[in-house]
């Protein structure tokens, strides 16, 4: 049986990425162009990788998560980006964190599920050894229960931190 979970505010995060590009890119280009073509290229070379990594992190964290009998998958528009089989999971840890309020709002508690892998997975040019999912994903409690049921066979217990 396959179940798909979605990040609750994915569209807001992705719209923020577009706005971030719309604001930051002109600032970087404007600042760099004052020093000529060399300054422009230097500004883009220094800021480009930082902006790209930040955006990819936000994008990947808001992808759909599919849980089935084979394992976990992060997908975007039906295409699989990352897949982890149940036998590749070595540990589970649940952590709770209080997020400080923004603009005078109330503090809120967010729960994170850290899934430690037995071996690091090669993804693009990185090697990932842990996956993290948050309670900001719609249906997080059901997701947590499905993960627990599937790793129970491997005798992996959920640790509380």
- What are the extents of the domains in the chain? 69-160
Report in angstroms the alpha-carbon separations of 62 from 23, 48, 76. 22, 21, 9
pLDDT > 70? residue 74: yes
pLDDT exceeds 80 at position 152: yes
Whole-number pLDDT of residue 28: 75
- Please give the C-alpha separations between residue 117 and each of 7, 36, 90, 92, 124, in angstroms, as whole numbers: 22, 48, 5, 9, 17
Above pLDDT 70, what percent of the chain?
90
Helix (H, G, I), strand (E, B) or coil at 149: helix
Mean of the pLDDT values across residues 74-79? 81
The per-residue pLDDT for range 106-138, each reduced to its tens digit, is: 888 889 999 988 888 776 656 677 888 888 788
User: Average pLDDT of 74-95?
Assistant: 86
**pLDDT tens for residues 93-107?**
999 988 887 767 788
Mean pLDDT taken over the chain: 80
- Is the full-model pTM beyond 0.85? no
Fold of the 69-160 domain:
PH-domain like (2.30.29)
């Amino acid at each position: 049986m396959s179940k798909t979970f979605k990040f609750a505010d994915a569209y807001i995060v992705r719209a923020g990425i577009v706005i971030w590009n719309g604001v930051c890119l002109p600032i970087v280009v404007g600042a760099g162009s004052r020093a000529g073509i060399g300054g422009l290229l230097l500004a883009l070379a220094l800021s480009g990788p930082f902006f790209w990594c930040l955006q990819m992190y936000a994008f990947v964290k808001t992808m759909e998560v599919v849980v089935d009998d084979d394992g976990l998958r992060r997908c975007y528009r039906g295409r699989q980006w990352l897949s982890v089989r149940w036998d590749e999971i070595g540990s589970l840890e649940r952590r709770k964190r209080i997020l400080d309020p923004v603009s005078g709002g109330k503090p809120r508690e967010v729960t994170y599920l850290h899934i430690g892998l037995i071996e690091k997975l090669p993804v693009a040019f990185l090697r990932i050894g842990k996956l993290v999912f948050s309670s900001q994903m719609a249906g997080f409690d059901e997701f947590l229960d499905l993960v627990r049921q599937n790793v129970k066979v491997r005798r992996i217990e959920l640790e509380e931190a």
